[in-house]
């Protein structure tokens, strides 16, 4: 079973490098264009079904890449960053760089935020549940943190070893269903128009 993980396009906050967490914000015009550019790629992969985070920026991305009827799932929301919601990464780092780096590595929790392990548990539970009804290509429209959590739990890639996931990019993961074979990363951070090595968290 292949999991097609699509991070939402640039939101209205991405451009200013503000942490979004579970804030329900819309795509920017750039984000809409990014999602539109990915649609031909997704169409060619012919997803068997689609699920999405229930937050606006992800639902709109799902619709623009050809999955307007994707099932919204609350547990696919981004990690809750608590008091850091809406703050710029630069301000957080200036205030407490060690705390920011620990959070980014999955070992620290922002004040009032969600612990990484609890976040990864809820995200993984969604994917495992979906895998009980296998299909060739399951489309999952989600957030960057969700993708990092899935890569950690299924491939043992730690968050500190994964660069930020680019807006409106495609990551593909092959899940081997109990046949003794390892799960495999097939694609990471693919964008049809340009590479992005400096995406915000």
- Catalytic sites, residue numbers: 8, 78
User: What does the alpha-carbon distance between residue 78 and residue 123 come to, in Å, rounded to a whole number?
Assistant: 9
- Report the half-sphere exposure of 165 (CA within 13 A, side-chain side): 25
**Residue 185: which region, alpha, beta or left (left: phi > 0; alpha: psi -120 to 50)?**
beta
- Look at residue 31 and give its three-state secondary structure: helix
Of the candidates 38, 32, 45, the one whose C-alpha atom is nearest the C-alpha of residue 2 is 45
**Do residues 7 and 76 make contact, with C-beta atoms less than 8 angstroms apart?**
no
């Amino acid at each position: 079973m292949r999991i097609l993980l699509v991070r939402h396009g640039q939101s209205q906050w991405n451009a200013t490098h503000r942490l979004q967490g579970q804030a329900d914000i819309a795509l920017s015009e750039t984000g809409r264009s990014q999602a539109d550019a990915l649609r031909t790629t997704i169409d060619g992969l012919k997803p068997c079904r689609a699920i999405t985070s229930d937050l606006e920026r992800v639902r709109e991305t799902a619709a623009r890449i050809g999955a307007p009827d994707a099932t919204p799932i609350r547990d696919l929301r981004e990690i809750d960053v608590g008091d850091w919601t809406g703050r710029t990464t630069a301000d957080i780092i200036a205030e407490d760089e060690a705390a920011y780096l620990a959070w980014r590595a999955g070992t620290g929790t922002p004040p009032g935020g969600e612990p990484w392990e609890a976040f990864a548990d809820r995200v993984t539970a969604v994917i495992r549940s979906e895998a009980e009804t296998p299909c060739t290509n399951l489309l999952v429209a989600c957030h960057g943190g969700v993708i990092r959590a899935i890569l950690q739990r299924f491939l043992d890639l730690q968050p500190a070893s994964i660069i930020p996931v680019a807006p409106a990019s495609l990551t593909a993961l092959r899940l081997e269903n109990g046949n003794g074979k390892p799960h495999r990363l097939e694609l990471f951070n693919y964008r049809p128009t340009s590479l992005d090595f400096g995406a915000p968290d």
